[in-house]
Amino acid sequence: MDDEYFMRRALKLASLGTPSPNPYVGAILVKDGEIIGRGYHEKAGMPHAEIEALKSCENPAGATLYVTLEPCSHHGRTPPCTDAIIKAKIKKVVYALDDPNPQVNGKQILEDAGIKVVSGVLQKEAEKLNEVFVKNMTTKLPFVVLKTAMSSDGKIATKNRAPLQITGEKSRKIVHELRGKYDAILVGVNTILADDPQLTCRTAGGRDPLRVILDSRLKTPFDAKVLKDKNVLIATTEKYDSEKMRLLSRKAKVAVFGKDHVNLKQLLKFLYAEGVCSILVEGGGKVNQNFIKAGLIDKMVTLISSKKIGVDGLDAFGGKTLEEVRKELSFMLEETLEVDGDKVIISTPKC
């Protein structure tokens, strides 16, 4: 068994947590080829993976610590993990990913204490697991996922937006799981007007995300289902109607981002400052085009049905195919799943 074997075990552990806005981290302690301790970061504010692993065994002295992220060296909600590692007399630390947080200098501190450090083991796997955290730390912006459900001929609805289930039940379940995974879900006001969705997560144990509505003229109806609770942000412009602003502000937070059109970059900066680390964009064709044109997409999740809607249907990407959009964004196909006749295609930036 080599370093990669134990790191895979640590990565699997890391995925068990729900640590946002913190990273996913798993840790394994190994002595004489045997695992003697395990831990993962469960939630923000709770002990880090390294601490949980150290607590789980009686005598960690002389062991090798496998951890998916460079151990922290600064005081946050919890003390530095480097202090605990040094105190426990760990002999060697192997980690996957350098911490993108500029406050962290764990590797140097551990080496200065005489601990052997090996980095970069399964780095790409760790980057994928912590894609949201890496984006947050390096850009101070939320991670943005563009989710689109469309027919085999690239349409998202009929011309008159008549009720239509494009994808199957299992594909729709995937969508609700995604809603529970990300901090916010974003749609355009036309989706609210046409479909009157609740935009909630309907999976067991899932959390409802912040609902964000792009509404440059404040057309959101006062009785819209999405306004049944106040976990909503309506992003508008300086063209808003004062009376509508007053009434809608009773049911949701309303904020101005731009003169004629909602400035998406400004909106994302605001959301990140409010603690939103990740966003699922479920817009119509116009919203999709605006995010693509602005270069603000970090991942695409595209659900494609075997059904056809026809030439009069509404385009998912303004007349462009998925392949053309991926080329424009310099995205590559990462994964394709078959779900009861539907295809789920995940696309990510090329390295």
Chain position carrying tokens 């500029």:
102
Taking the C-alpha atoms of residue 290 and residue 283, their distance in angstroms, rounded to an integer, is 10
Taking the C-alpha atoms of residue 252 and residue 210, their distance in angstroms, rounded to an integer, is 11
Which alpha helices (DSSP H) does the chain contain, by range? 3-14, 49-55, 81-87, 106-112, 123-129, 131-139, 169-181, 189-195, 242-248, 264-273, 285-294, 322-329
Taking the C-alpha atoms of residue 233 and residue 213, their distance in angstroms, rounded to an integer, is 6
Region of residue 275 (left: phi > 0; alpha: psi -120 to 50; beta: else): left
Cβ–Cβ < 8 Å for 89, 57: no
Amino acid at 49: A
**Active site (annotated) includes residue 334:** no
For strand 155-157 and strand 314-315, is the pairing parallel, antiparallel, or unpaired?
antiparallel
Count CB neighbours of 159 within 10 A. 12
Give Cα separations from 271 to 134, 234, 239, 279, 331 (angstroms). Answer: 17, 12, 21, 9, 25
Structure tokens at 86: 């040094």
For strand 143-150 and strand 278-281, is the pairing parallel, antiparallel, or unpaired?
parallel
The catalytically annotated residue of 4, 34, 42, 50 is: 50
Q: Which residues participate in catalysis according to the annotation?
A: 50
